[in-house]
Structure 1
Amino acid sequence: MREAEIRAALQAVESGALSRRGFIARLVAAGLPAPMAASLLPIAGEARAQAGASTYEPSRRGGGGALRLLFWQGPTLLNPHFASGSKDVAACRLFYEPLVDWDRDGNLFPLLAREVPSLANGGVARDGLSVTWKLKPGVTWHDGTPFTADDVVATWAYARDPATATITHGSFRSIQVRKIDALTVRHEFERPTPFWVDAALHPVLPRHLFAAFQGAGSRDAPANARPVGTGPYRFLELVPGDLVRGELNPTYHQPLKPHFDSVTIKGGGDALSAARAVLQTGEYDYAWNIQVEDDILRRLEESGKGTLDFAPGGNIEYLMLNHADPWTEVDGERAAPGSRHPLLLEPAVRQALALLVDRDSIQRFLYGRGGVGSANFLVNPPRYTSRRSGPGHDPARAEALLEAAGWKRGPDGIRLREGKRLRLLFQTSVNPTRQKVQGLLRQATQRAGIELELKATTASVFFSSDPASNDTAVKFLADLQMYQQGRNGPDPGRFMEMFCSWQLASRTNKWEGRNVIRWRHEAYDRTFRAAEVEVDPVRRAALLIELNDLVCNDGAIVPILYRPAVSALARRLRAPISGWTVETAQIADWFKA
């Protein structure tokens, strides 16, 4: 089938002249396999996505009692624009909302927007240079202040200011947000922008509480710890690393929602105890991010008190190699972006590490249903998946590469060159499954002559954004580290910016830059810039796949496995969870049957 025919069919879907089902049928009739046809669908859904994807039909607001959520990583902050860990983002979404978000099927649905913009309704400009957002009327902040276009504009100004040092800066830095009237704003782009929804996926902040704290004083805002949002729950309490509590918002803008009278996110413990508290003892209604060996989970499910949910998405567990030097200070900063790692910039060492990762064993013996081995960082939907197979698991080849590079075994079996030992520090969060993955990799590297020291940091510290701590993932003061990278939405455009040179994490941006491995690659930067403005979906997909191949082939990272979002739910709990956004994105729709 010719590319021109695919583009014509895509345009028909965007204009409303062709349904998504009709699109697939047309491409299948032209000889394209159905899965490939489905993978080419545009990001915006049909009318059902604009109405929300919930099957919940409430008869009244509240009455559901207390909703008890267990997060084995306790939330530490409640400003979504500083939240680098998903547990903090999940807590923020009890109180704050974006204009739109993704449902389980990867379709957009409106929250603070009245509708999802499209070519058909005139919201998306045909030249790709602007998107007009109509805001939902009658929405108020929790303190009674009306929500207006001024809040959307102020959030843009706040997040794009480099001195504010937000984690969301990349989504706002290159756009202009203009107020059209009290309930209309327009996002304007410097160039044609295929991923026009990016900034609209981040929660809106109240102008009257945050505008005065834009810039260098951003961390001093009282509302950073006492949120005032538009969401289904109003803030009651935050004990950092321990719990967050909220109560039903009686003026919530979605009629007859939420179902529950209160919600508590309790932090602490570990993934196994969290799973047990839902599936076996029934103490909690929901447990987040269940990273537990699958055979254990199957036994817990036998009690009948709960079930597991596997939400498809694009999350990837991967090994990161530090390209900066974490052991030498440059102007008082370790792992400064201008420094160079003394060992990991050598291709032979990076290639050897990649060859020592045994994905098949990790999947088969540890993750089971909760993970699928992947040599690619960019996974799911299929239209963005590379055909790259990766180097595979080959310890003999790893040893040969090290030998050829001059790394010879010493008396204790550890390789040396010019008196320098091949020794690396490997860190991750405290989690039984991750510690077992660490153990497997240490066994493999030991046999190959690499000494691996293991470090595990409490998750609430490891995934925090505390600039005073040296144990955070964003500072990355180690040689190697491993965790899951979550992806917000099926379109991976902004996701892949995390390896661009302008996103380097450093002291100057309070370590909020997303490029924590401090990798620099000119071809990668050029390709990302090209993908940013490529409006042809077929060519853009090819560019995004090229980004995956560049970072993986260079050995800057080593993907381990793709992970669906795994949650434990009480037997009666109905919770529409999407793997394309934070699990609490549709918490207003949660209910007990």
Structure 2
Amino acid sequence: MKIKALLLGAIASTALAPMAMAERGSDGNVSIIYWQAPSILNPFLSGGTKDVESSSLVLEPLGRYDETGALVPFLATEIPTLENGGVSEDLTTITWNLKPGLLWSDGTPVTSADVVFTADYCMHPEGGCAQGAKFEGVSKVEAIDDLTVKVTFSEPKPNPYGPFMGAQSPIIQAAQFADCLGAKAPECTDANFNPIGTGPFVVDEFKPNDVITMSANPNFRDPAKPAFATLTFKGGGDATAAGRAVMETGEFDYAWNLQLAPEVISKMAAAGKGTPVSAFGTLVERIEINLTDPSPSLPEGERATAKHPHPFLSDLAVRKALSMAIDRELLVEIGYGQAGRPTCNMVPAPALYASDNTDCLVQDIAGANQMLEDAGWVKGADGIRAKDGVRLSLLYQTSTNAVRQDFQALIKQWWSEIGVETELRNISGSVFFGGDPGSPDTFQKFYADVEMYANNFDGTDPENYLAERTCEKAPRPESQWQGENINRFCDPAYDALVAELGRTGALEKRGEIARQLNDMLTKDSYSILPLVDRGRVSAHSNTLGGVILNVWDSEIWNAADWYRLEGS
């Protein structure tokens, strides 16, 4: 098996390139705007990118992925490998060594006990963890000494870089979260809003769904960083206003996720205050099909759960017809231009893991109509198809964004042409991606028939990402509606194949399994309808130095290295 290629080949560097900057806090304030406002600063309680990335300024993992996808150490001295002895020869353990002298922002030492606690927190049997797939196959996490942590897997794990790697799996302080285990986790408001961390900044004030004010961490491990004394993280508004605030007015230094038409971004950049930056990674805009019944007529606690299959989306013919009716080329043209590519895959990259599935790329309205007709779905006098008294009438929700609303309008029209009635709904991104277990409007709770959004995964290996779709990871009341299996897909054969991927070391074989898993979700079951392989587009001020766009981890992964350019 090519195990060493997997464990060593992706590790292109072990240290970040130094940035030229002055002493800590010498460059004043830096301002960031995310038009989807953060609602929590604990990535274990939210799968929303805006929550994971804002948290990354405060909470850090043992290792990250750099802008090339290579593994680099952060709180660890090095990335454990077979070659350096950090990964055992039988592939059942990985041992991490913390850098000596690390301090939490409150001045207390960071120890292996914090790492062990983090695992206990996410793996607690009575709680829900948005990043549970990161701990797939973990049987034990133990402290060998104050600076050494050993993770043991239930069987050989050729890719052991799930726990504590990337922005989705940072270390939290045991002392702060000690009373927040299991079902109590969402109740710990102070800890979830004001985490004590090791990152370059500390939280001064957090106003959920609005603004976060931060200041330089006085105990950050590099005494020269961060260059900025304070940081303002503004949330809300829309992508257009965010882009203008950086590239036209210069009010902000960094704007995230400019989900705008290409000509709009070009016009903004022409103002000369800021620069758009972009890169392709694994971000796919898609439609999730709810395989369970979200009807409000069901008792609370049973809606959108496995107890009740969906009345018509359980029919493969309906799901496939919905996909066939969509013109993905046109969606790319109106929404993203060169910053998008039509795709049929949930995992579009790296090439090793990308399926050659292209079945969805050609729109086929006639074929979709025939498929529904053959399946017994007959058009009524109102043009809407029905079968056994069940009408093809669905609620289609997404977050509020101009491009997404354009997509909704087009897709509603195409679906009407095949006899499907569609009600459109859009929800503030701050709420939709917020993960609040008490809200009916989160993408995890999925109180709709279909919903559209995009996300991606840390690093270049999709194992943990694909493991999110196993049966037990469906959000449900018992998990406080946390979980990554958003559409409630459940297939024992899929779960078995995920387990096989977890113990497979040969790269070609891993690629084959990953492609098969991708196809089970898309080409075979049509439980996910991929639309666009999106390039990440953001913008930074022309006076902000040190920015390195990273599509493999938190986009603001290296904020500690940002600085104000001289003369600006």
Q: What TM-score does the superposition give when structure 1 sets the normalisation length?
A: 0.91
Write the mapping of 1:85-234 to structure 2, written as runs, cut at 5 A. 85-172=48-135, 174-175=137-138, 176-201=140-165, 202-221=169-188, 222-234=190-202
Could you say what secondary structure the match of 1:253 adopts?
coil
- 1:570 aligned partner: 541
- 1:32 aligned partner: none
Measured in 2, the distance between the counterparts of 1:543 and 1:429 equals 32
Q: CA deviation at 1:264?
A: 1.0
State yes or no: 1:309 paired with 2:277.
yes
The structure with the largest helix share of the pair is: 1
The answer for unaligned runs of 5 or more in structure 1 is 16-41
Q: Alpha carbon RMSD of aligned pairs, Å?
A: 1.6
Q: Deviations over 1:333-389 (max 9, x none)?
A: 211222110011112111110101211001112211332111111111111011111
Q: Which moved more, 1:427-436 or 1:171-180?
A: 171-180
Measured in 2, the distance between the counterparts of 1:131 and 1:468 equals 37
Measured in 1, the distance between the counterparts of 2:300 and 2:236 equals 37
- 1:592 aligned partner: 564
Q: Deviations over 1:230-276 (max 9, x none)?
A: 11011100000001111011221024111111111101110111011
1:275 to 239, 243, 262: 243
Measured in 2, the distance between the counterparts of 1:323 and 1:227 equals 36
Measured in 2, the distance between the counterparts of 1:276 and 1:74 equals 17
Q: What amino acid maps onto 1:218 in structure 2?
A: A
Q: CA deviation at 1:309?
A: 0.9
Measured in 2, the distance between the counterparts of 1:533 and 1:561 equals 31
Q: Would the alpha carbon gap of residues 71 and 331 (structure 1) be closer, same or farther in structure 2, given more than 3 Å must change?
A: closer
Measured in 2, the distance between the counterparts of 1:261 and 1:294 equals 35
Q: How many residues get paired? A: 556
Q: Would the alpha carbon gap of residues 399 and 94 (structure 1) be closer, same or farther in structure 2, given more than 3 Å must change?
A: same
Measured in 2, the distance between the counterparts of 1:364 and 1:285 equals 29
State yes or no: 1:64 paired with 2:27.
yes
Calculate percent identity across the aligned residue pairs: 37
- 2:310 aligned partner: 341
Could you say what secondary structure the match of 1:200 adopts?
coil
Q: Deviations over 1:173-224 (max 9, x none)?
A: 6321111111111111111112211102111111111123222322233311
- 1:416 aligned partner: 386
Q: CA deviation at 1:332?
A: 4.2
Q: Would the alpha carbon gap of residues 356 and 13 (structure 1) be closer, same or farther in structure 2, given more than 3 Å must change?
A: closer
1:559 to 530, 546, 553: 530
Could you say what secondary structure the match of 1:266 adopts?
strand
Measured in 2, the distance between the counterparts of 1:423 and 1:14 equals 49
Could you say what secondary structure the match of 2:46 adopts?
coil
Q: What amino acid maps onto 1:412 in structure 2?
A: D
Q: Which moved more, 1:409-418 or 1:290-299?
A: 409-418
Instruction: Tell me, yes or no, if the aligned pair for 2:104 and 2:219 is still in contact at 8 Å.
Output: no
2:217 to 249, 260, 268: 249
Could you say what secondary structure the match of 2:417 adopts?
helix
Q: CA deviation at 1:560?
A: 0.4
Measured in 1, the distance between the counterparts of 2:331 and 2:206 equals 37
Q: CA deviation at 1:331?
A: 6.7
Instruction: Tell me, yes or no, if the aligned pair for 2:133 and 2:465 is still in contact at 8 Å.
Output: no
Write the mapping of 1:193-592 to structure 2, written as runs, cut at 5 A. 193-201=157-165, 202-221=169-188, 222-327=190-295, 328-329=297-298, 332-391=301-360, 392-553=362-523, 554-574=525-545, 575-592=547-564
Instruction: Tell me, yes or no, if the aligned pair for 2:63 and 2:75 is still in contact at 8 Å.
Output: yes
Q: Would the alpha carbon gap of residues 505 and 398 (structure 1) be closer, same or farther in structure 2, given more than 3 Å must change?
A: same
Q: CA deviation at 1:509?
A: 0.6
Measured in 2, the distance between the counterparts of 1:59 and 1:320 equals 47
Q: Deviations over 1:407-441 (max 9, x none)?
A: 22222222233343211110000100000000110
Measured in 1, the distance between the counterparts of 2:476 and 2:447 equals 11
Could you say what secondary structure the match of 1:198 adopts?
coil
Measured in 2, the distance between the counterparts of 1:164 and 1:550 equals 29
Measured in 1, the distance between the counterparts of 2:134 and 2:247 equals 38
Q: What amino acid maps onto 2:239 in structure 1?
A: A
Could you say what secondary structure the match of 1:514 adopts?
coil
Q: Deviations over 1:64-111 (max 9, x none)?
A: 111100111111111221122111111111111100001110001111
Instruction: Tell me, yes or no, if the aligned pair for 2:14 and 2:78 is still in contact at 8 Å.
Output: yes
Could you say what secondary structure the match of 2:64 adopts?
strand
Q: Which moved more, 1:238-247 or 1:312-321?
A: 312-321
Q: Which moved more, 1:202-211 or 1:409-418?
A: 409-418
Q: CA deviation at 1:60?
A: 2.0
Instruction: Tell me, yes or no, if the aligned pair for 1:329 and 1:335 is still in contact at 8 Å.
Output: no
Could you say what secondary structure the match of 2:463 adopts?
coil
Q: Deviations over 1:12-43 (max 9, x none)?
A: 7967xxxxxxxxxxxxxxxxxxxxxxxxxx33
Q: Which moved more, 1:438-447 or 1:54-63?
A: 54-63
Measured in 1, the distance between the counterparts of 2:246 and 2:470 equals 40
Q: What amino acid maps onto 2:195 in structure 1?
A: P
Q: What amino acid maps onto 1:76 in structure 2?
A: S
Q: What amino acid maps onto 1:314 in structure 2?
A: T
Instruction: Tell me, yes or no, if the aligned pair for 1:312 and 1:578 is still in contact at 8 Å.
Output: no
Q: Deviations over 1:493-547 (max 9, x none)?
A: 0001122111111111111021121111122111111101112221111111100
Measured in 2, the distance between the counterparts of 1:369 and 1:70 equals 24
Q: CA deviation at 1:120?
A: 2.1
Q: Deviations over 1:563-590 (max 9, x none)?
A: 1221111112231221011212211112
Q: Which has the higher contact order (CA 8 A, sep 6+)?
A: 2
Q: What amino acid maps onto 2:270 in structure 1?
A: E
Measured in 2, the distance between the counterparts of 1:418 and 1:495 equals 38
Q: Deviations over 1:101-152 (max 9, x none)?
A: 0111000111110111122221121211111111011111111111111111
Measured in 2, the distance between the counterparts of 1:514 and 1:63 equals 41
Q: What amino acid maps onto 2:279 in structure 1?
A: A
Measured in 2, the distance between the counterparts of 1:138 and 1:58 equals 23
